[in-house]
Amino acid sequence: MSGFKQFLLRGNVVDLAVGVVIGAAFGGVVTALVKDLLTPLIAAIVKQPDFSALTLTLNGSKLLYGEFINALLSFLIIAAAVYFFVVIPINALIARTKKDPVSADPTTRKCTECLSEIPINARRCAYCTSTVAGQTALAS
């Protein structure tokens, strides 16, 4: 039982649970945005508020392609809302807080004989044991 408790209280599980709860709440907000604002706006443009009444009867089978159009439009509108109202602002926020890494002075250089990486102040290569010029010789 202690292993199960440790599993539940591990950071990843708690973070996932919080993400699911917030995602569900956000899903409700986006669904309301689509259903109450965007779909009526589209309906005003195309003069039909609901496509679910569109059907096609083929050999006695009723094809509900209007329901598919509703689901497809809802998906596209929700995806666009998430992209424009969540992804773009979060990416902009992350880009604003990200700092450019400061370029550090090099700590290694290549041996002139074997091309191995050696410390910049080395006088002899640790790999081929050849004598290499010091840092002052490289600077001039």
Residue 54: what pLDDT? 82
The pTM of this model reads 0.47
The domains of the chain are located at 2-97, 104-140
Confidence of residue 98 (pLDDT cuts 50, 70, 90): confident
Q: What's phi and psi for 32, nearest 5 deg? A: -65, -40
85 in Cβ contact with 93 (< 8 Å): no
Tell the residue number behind the tokens 């089978």, with chain if given: 61
- Angle at CA 19, nearest 5°, toward 72 and 4? 125
Burial class (CB in 10 A: 0-12, 13-18, 19+), 34: buried
pLDDT for the residue 134 = 65
* Tens-digit pLDDT profile for residues 55-97: 889 998 988 888 888 788 778 877 887 788 888 998 898 888 8
pLDDT of 27 > 70? The answer is: yes
* In contact, 74 and 51? CB cutoff 8 Å: no
pLDDT at residue number 31: 76
- What's the pLDDT score for residue 137? 42
Q: Which fold has domain 2-97?
A: 1.10.1200
Sign of CA dihedral 91, 93, 96, 101: negative
Does pLDDT of 125 surpass 80?
yes
Given a cut of 80, whether residue 107 has pLDDT beyond it is yes
What is the predicted pLDDT for the residue at 88?
A: 92
User: What average pLDDT does this structure show over 34-46?
Assistant: 77
- pLDDT band at residue 120, thresholds of 50, 70 and 90? confident
Owner of token pair 């993400």: 19
Between CA 86 and CA 76 the distance in angstroms is 15
